[in-house]
Amino acid sequence: QGSIRFSKANIVYPNGVVGMKDLDLEIKPGEFVVVVGSSGAGKSTLLRAVNGLNKLTSGRVEVNGRQVPSQDGRELRELRKQIGMIFQDFRLVKRLSVMSNVLMGRLGHVPGWRTLLNLWPAADREIAMRALERVGIPDKAWVKASDLSGGQQQRVGIARALAQEPAIILADEPVASLDPVTTHQVMQDLVRINRELGITTLVNLHFLDLAREYGQRIIGLRFGELVYDGSADTVTDRD
Ligand code: ADP
Ligand code: ADP
Protein backbone atom coordinates (compact mmCIF):
# COMPACT_ATOMS: atom_id res chain seq x y z
CA GLN A 1 0.00 0.00 0.00
CA GLY A 2 1.35 3.38 -1.00
CA SER A 3 3.81 2.44 -3.75
CA ILE A 4 4.09 4.45 -6.96
CA ARG A 5 5.96 3.45 -10.09
CA PHE A 6 6.41 5.25 -13.40
CA SER A 7 7.91 3.36 -16.34
CA LYS A 8 8.90 5.17 -19.54
CA ALA A 9 6.07 7.57 -18.88
CA ASN A 10 5.37 10.46 -21.25
CA ILE A 11 2.75 13.16 -21.23
CA VAL A 12 2.37 15.46 -24.22
CA TYR A 13 -0.41 18.02 -23.88
CA PRO A 14 -2.74 18.64 -26.84
CA ASN A 15 -0.88 21.90 -27.58
CA GLY A 16 2.34 19.93 -28.01
CA VAL A 17 3.93 20.90 -24.69
CA VAL A 18 5.87 18.04 -23.11
CA GLY A 19 4.73 17.76 -19.48
CA MET A 20 6.57 14.50 -18.72
CA LYS A 21 9.48 12.95 -20.58
CA ASP A 22 10.57 9.29 -20.33
CA LEU A 23 10.01 9.19 -16.59
CA ASP A 24 11.24 6.14 -14.70
CA LEU A 25 10.60 6.47 -11.01
CA GLU A 26 9.88 4.18 -8.10
CA ILE A 27 8.52 5.41 -4.80
CA LYS A 28 8.23 2.96 -1.94
CA PRO A 29 5.46 2.82 0.65
CA GLY A 30 5.98 5.38 3.41
CA GLU A 31 8.54 7.54 1.60
CA PHE A 32 8.52 11.34 1.99
CA VAL A 33 9.49 12.78 -1.37
CA VAL A 34 9.86 16.42 -2.37
CA VAL A 35 9.46 17.18 -6.06
CA VAL A 36 11.32 20.35 -6.90
CA GLY A 37 11.64 22.43 -10.06
CA SER A 38 10.89 25.89 -11.36
CA SER A 39 7.46 26.88 -12.59
CA GLY A 40 6.52 24.79 -15.62
CA ALA A 41 9.01 22.01 -14.82
CA GLY A 42 6.27 19.39 -14.65
CA LYS A 43 5.67 19.02 -10.91
CA SER A 44 1.87 19.23 -11.08
CA THR A 45 1.89 17.06 -14.19
CA LEU A 46 3.62 14.33 -12.18
CA LEU A 47 1.30 14.60 -9.20
CA ARG A 48 -1.81 14.66 -11.35
CA ALA A 49 -0.64 11.54 -13.20
CA VAL A 50 -0.61 9.60 -9.92
CA ASN A 51 -4.35 10.06 -9.38
CA GLY A 52 -5.31 9.82 -13.03
CA LEU A 53 -6.14 13.50 -13.54
CA ASN A 54 -3.48 13.56 -16.25
CA LYS A 55 -3.45 10.64 -18.65
CA LEU A 56 -0.16 9.30 -19.95
CA THR A 57 0.53 9.63 -23.67
CA SER A 58 2.71 6.52 -23.42
CA GLY A 59 4.32 4.35 -20.76
CA ARG A 60 2.89 3.19 -17.45
CA VAL A 61 2.08 4.51 -14.02
CA GLU A 62 1.17 2.11 -11.24
CA VAL A 63 -0.15 2.78 -7.75
CA ASN A 64 -0.10 -0.06 -5.23
CA GLY A 65 1.16 -2.31 -8.00
CA ARG A 66 -1.86 -1.66 -10.23
CA GLN A 67 -1.96 0.45 -13.34
CA VAL A 68 -3.75 3.78 -12.87
CA PRO A 69 -6.92 3.44 -14.98
CA SER A 70 -6.79 5.46 -18.19
CA GLN A 71 -10.58 5.72 -18.26
CA ASP A 72 -12.67 7.64 -15.77
CA GLY A 73 -14.99 5.35 -13.91
CA ARG A 74 -15.49 3.29 -10.80
CA GLU A 75 -11.93 1.96 -10.69
CA LEU A 76 -10.47 5.44 -10.83
CA ARG A 77 -12.88 6.69 -8.16
CA GLU A 78 -11.79 3.85 -5.88
CA LEU A 79 -8.13 4.78 -6.44
CA ARG A 80 -8.79 8.46 -5.69
CA LYS A 81 -10.35 7.57 -2.35
CA GLN A 82 -6.93 6.24 -1.36
CA ILE A 83 -5.15 9.43 -2.41
CA GLY A 84 -5.45 12.58 -0.31
CA MET A 85 -4.85 15.87 -2.16
CA ILE A 86 -3.57 19.09 -0.63
CA PHE A 87 -3.61 22.30 -2.68
CA GLN A 88 -1.84 25.66 -2.75
CA ASP A 89 -5.18 27.49 -2.44
CA PHE A 90 -6.54 25.03 0.19
CA ARG A 91 -9.82 24.50 -1.75
CA LEU A 92 -12.04 24.60 1.31
CA VAL A 93 -15.74 25.39 1.24
CA LYS A 94 -15.29 28.57 3.19
CA ARG A 95 -18.86 29.15 4.27
CA LEU A 96 -18.96 25.73 5.97
CA SER A 97 -17.52 24.60 9.28
CA VAL A 98 -14.10 23.03 9.60
CA MET A 99 -15.80 19.75 10.56
CA SER A 100 -17.92 19.79 7.39
CA ASN A 101 -14.84 20.37 5.28
CA VAL A 102 -12.94 17.53 6.90
CA LEU A 103 -15.91 15.16 6.63
CA MET A 104 -16.17 15.97 2.93
CA GLY A 105 -12.78 14.32 2.47
CA ARG A 106 -14.27 11.16 3.86
CA LEU A 107 -17.83 11.20 2.52
CA GLY A 108 -17.13 12.75 -0.88
CA HIS A 109 -19.97 15.21 -0.43
CA VAL A 110 -21.17 17.91 1.95
CA PRO A 111 -22.25 16.12 5.14
CA GLY A 112 -25.86 16.44 6.14
CA TRP A 113 -27.12 17.62 9.51
CA ARG A 114 -27.53 14.12 10.91
CA THR A 115 -23.86 13.37 10.35
CA LEU A 116 -22.84 16.71 11.80
CA LEU A 117 -25.01 16.18 14.87
CA ASN A 118 -23.54 12.70 15.24
CA LEU A 119 -26.85 10.93 14.79
CA TRP A 120 -25.26 8.40 12.47
CA PRO A 121 -22.87 5.89 14.00
CA ALA A 122 -20.07 8.10 15.16
CA ALA A 123 -17.24 6.53 13.14
CA ASP A 124 -16.86 9.23 10.49
CA ARG A 125 -16.98 12.08 12.95
CA GLU A 126 -14.48 10.39 15.19
CA ILE A 127 -12.07 9.92 12.32
CA ALA A 128 -12.53 13.57 11.30
CA MET A 129 -11.91 14.68 14.86
CA ARG A 130 -8.76 12.58 15.12
CA ALA A 131 -7.51 14.14 11.89
CA LEU A 132 -8.06 17.60 13.39
CA GLU A 133 -6.20 16.56 16.53
CA ARG A 134 -3.33 15.32 14.41
CA VAL A 135 -2.89 18.80 12.89
CA GLY A 136 -3.39 20.51 16.24
CA ILE A 137 -6.72 22.31 15.72
CA PRO A 138 -9.45 20.15 17.31
CA ASP A 139 -10.73 23.30 19.00
CA LYS A 140 -11.56 24.76 15.57
CA ALA A 141 -13.95 21.98 14.53
CA TRP A 142 -17.06 24.18 14.65
CA VAL A 143 -15.49 27.39 13.40
CA LYS A 144 -16.37 28.58 9.91
CA ALA A 145 -13.46 27.83 7.55
CA SER A 146 -13.32 31.45 6.34
CA ASP A 147 -12.63 32.61 9.92
CA LEU A 148 -9.28 30.80 10.05
CA SER A 149 -5.81 32.07 9.17
CA GLY A 150 -4.08 30.73 6.06
CA GLY A 151 -1.95 28.31 8.05
CA GLN A 152 -5.00 27.00 9.89
CA GLN A 153 -6.90 26.64 6.62
CA GLN A 154 -4.07 24.54 5.22
CA ARG A 155 -4.19 22.39 8.35
CA VAL A 156 -7.87 21.81 7.60
CA GLY A 157 -6.76 20.81 4.10
CA ILE A 158 -4.34 18.30 5.61
CA ALA A 159 -6.99 17.00 8.01
CA ARG A 160 -9.43 16.59 5.13
CA ALA A 161 -6.87 14.45 3.33
CA LEU A 162 -6.16 12.42 6.49
CA ALA A 163 -9.88 11.78 7.06
CA GLN A 164 -9.81 9.75 3.84
CA GLU A 165 -7.38 7.40 5.59
CA PRO A 166 -5.29 7.55 2.43
CA ALA A 167 -2.37 5.38 1.34
CA ILE A 168 -0.82 8.38 -0.44
CA ILE A 169 -0.83 12.13 0.11
CA LEU A 170 -0.14 14.46 -2.83
CA ALA A 171 0.56 18.07 -1.86
CA ASP A 172 0.79 20.51 -4.78
CA GLU A 173 2.71 23.60 -3.63
CA PRO A 174 1.05 23.40 -0.20
CA VAL A 175 2.98 26.32 1.28
CA ALA A 176 3.14 28.67 -1.71
CA SER A 177 0.37 30.89 -0.30
CA LEU A 178 1.74 30.99 3.25
CA ASP A 179 4.12 33.33 5.09
CA PRO A 180 7.58 32.02 6.03
CA VAL A 181 6.77 31.09 9.63
CA THR A 182 3.59 29.24 8.69
CA THR A 183 5.41 27.61 5.78
CA HIS A 184 7.81 25.88 8.16
CA GLN A 185 5.00 24.85 10.51
CA VAL A 186 3.04 23.24 7.71
CA MET A 187 6.13 21.50 6.29
CA GLN A 188 6.92 20.17 9.77
CA ASP A 189 3.32 18.93 10.09
CA LEU A 190 3.64 17.04 6.80
CA VAL A 191 6.95 15.45 7.82
CA ARG A 192 5.64 14.49 11.27
CA ILE A 193 2.44 12.97 9.87
CA ASN A 194 4.47 10.97 7.37
CA ARG A 195 6.61 9.64 10.21
CA GLU A 196 3.68 8.91 12.51
CA LEU A 197 1.34 7.30 10.00
CA GLY A 198 3.69 6.07 7.27
CA ILE A 199 1.55 7.54 4.50
CA THR A 200 3.56 7.88 1.28
CA THR A 201 3.85 11.63 0.72
CA LEU A 202 4.77 13.64 -2.38
CA VAL A 203 5.19 17.38 -1.91
CA ASN A 204 5.75 19.81 -4.80
CA LEU A 205 7.91 22.82 -3.98
CA HIS A 206 9.54 25.43 -6.19
CA PHE A 207 12.16 26.56 -3.65
CA LEU A 208 15.24 24.38 -3.47
CA ASP A 209 16.08 25.62 0.05
CA LEU A 210 12.78 24.30 1.42
CA ALA A 211 13.20 21.06 -0.50
CA ARG A 212 16.67 20.61 1.01
CA GLU A 213 15.41 21.26 4.50
CA TYR A 214 12.51 18.81 4.43
CA GLY A 215 12.99 16.35 1.59
CA GLN A 216 14.28 12.98 2.70
CA ARG A 217 14.38 12.22 -0.98
CA ILE A 218 14.42 14.95 -3.61
CA ILE A 219 13.27 14.59 -7.18
CA GLY A 220 14.33 17.40 -9.49
CA LEU A 221 12.44 18.13 -12.70
CA ARG A 222 13.23 20.36 -15.66
CA PHE A 223 11.11 20.55 -18.82
CA GLY A 224 9.29 17.41 -17.71
CA GLU A 225 12.49 15.45 -17.33
CA LEU A 226 13.98 13.92 -14.21
CA VAL A 227 17.29 15.69 -13.60
CA TYR A 228 17.95 14.67 -9.99
CA ASP A 229 16.89 11.86 -7.70
CA GLY A 230 18.65 11.53 -4.39
CA SER A 231 19.19 12.82 -0.90
CA ALA A 232 19.07 16.43 0.22
CA ASP A 233 22.81 16.47 0.96
CA THR A 234 24.13 16.32 -2.55
CA VAL A 235 21.59 18.34 -4.54
CA THR A 236 22.79 21.65 -6.01
CA ASP A 237 21.23 24.45 -8.02
CA ARG A 238 22.72 23.01 -11.17
CA ASP A 239 20.84 19.71 -10.76
P1 ADP B 1 4.86 22.92 -12.58
O2 ADP B 1 3.84 22.27 -11.71
O3 ADP B 1 6.24 22.43 -12.32
O4 ADP B 1 4.78 24.41 -12.57
P5 ADP B 1 3.25 21.88 -14.75
O6 ADP B 1 3.24 20.42 -14.58
O7 ADP B 1 2.07 22.64 -14.30
O8 ADP B 1 4.57 22.46 -14.09
O9 ADP B 1 3.49 22.22 -16.28
C10 ADP B 1 4.50 21.62 -17.09
C11 ADP B 1 4.38 22.16 -18.50
O12 ADP B 1 3.18 21.70 -19.08
C13 ADP B 1 4.32 23.68 -18.57
O14 ADP B 1 4.97 24.10 -19.72
C15 ADP B 1 2.84 23.96 -18.67
O16 ADP B 1 2.60 25.18 -19.33
C17 ADP B 1 2.34 22.77 -19.45
N18 ADP B 1 0.95 22.41 -19.11
C19 ADP B 1 0.49 22.04 -17.90
N20 ADP B 1 -0.82 21.72 -17.96
C21 ADP B 1 -1.19 21.88 -19.25
C22 ADP B 1 -2.42 21.69 -19.97
N23 ADP B 1 -3.53 21.27 -19.36
N24 ADP B 1 -2.43 21.97 -21.29
C25 ADP B 1 -1.31 22.37 -21.91
N26 ADP B 1 -0.12 22.55 -21.32
C27 ADP B 1 -0.05 22.32 -19.99
P1 ADP C 1 -27.38 13.09 6.41
O2 ADP C 1 -28.37 11.99 6.55
O3 ADP C 1 -27.24 13.88 7.66
O4 ADP C 1 -27.59 13.89 5.16
P5 ADP C 1 -24.91 12.31 5.08
O6 ADP C 1 -25.46 12.94 3.86
O7 ADP C 1 -23.64 12.75 5.60
O8 ADP C 1 -25.98 12.35 6.27
O9 ADP C 1 -24.82 10.74 4.85
C10 ADP C 1 -25.00 10.10 3.61
C11 ADP C 1 -25.00 8.59 3.84
O12 ADP C 1 -23.75 8.21 4.39
C13 ADP C 1 -26.05 8.21 4.84
O14 ADP C 1 -27.23 7.77 4.18
C15 ADP C 1 -25.42 7.09 5.64
O16 ADP C 1 -25.78 5.85 5.10
C17 ADP C 1 -23.94 7.26 5.45
N18 ADP C 1 -23.31 7.75 6.68
C19 ADP C 1 -23.14 9.03 7.02
N20 ADP C 1 -22.49 9.15 8.20
C21 ADP C 1 -22.23 7.90 8.60
C22 ADP C 1 -21.56 7.35 9.74
N23 ADP C 1 -21.05 8.11 10.72
N24 ADP C 1 -21.46 6.03 9.83
C25 ADP C 1 -21.95 5.26 8.86
N26 ADP C 1 -22.59 5.70 7.76
C27 ADP C 1 -22.73 7.01 7.62
The ligand 2 site (C-beta within 6 Å) comprises: 107, 111-115, 120-121, 123-124
- 52-105: pLDDT as tens digits: 999 999 999 999 999 999 998 999 999 999 999 999 999 999 999 999 999 999
d(CA 208, CA 229): 13
User: CA 30, 36, 38: angle at the middle one, nearest 5?
Assistant: 160
H-helix or E-strand spanning residue 184: helix 180-197
For the Cβ of 37 lying below 6 angstroms from any atom of ligand 1, the answer is yes
Q: Is the dihedral of CA 166, 104, 138, 183 positive or negative?
A: positive
ipTM at complex level: 0.73
Which ligand gives the minimal distance to the CA of 20? 1
Rg over alpha carbons for the chain, rounded to the nearest Å, is 18
Position 117 scores a pLDDT of 85
Position 120 scores a pLDDT of 74
Question: Which residue's CA is the nearest one to ligand 2's atom 1?
Answer: 112
Burial of 96 (0-12, 13-18, 19+ CB in 10 A): middle
Position 121 scores a pLDDT of 73
Secondary structure percentages of the chain, helix, strand, coil, to 5: 35, 25, 40
Burial of 207 (0-12, 13-18, 19+ CB in 10 A): middle
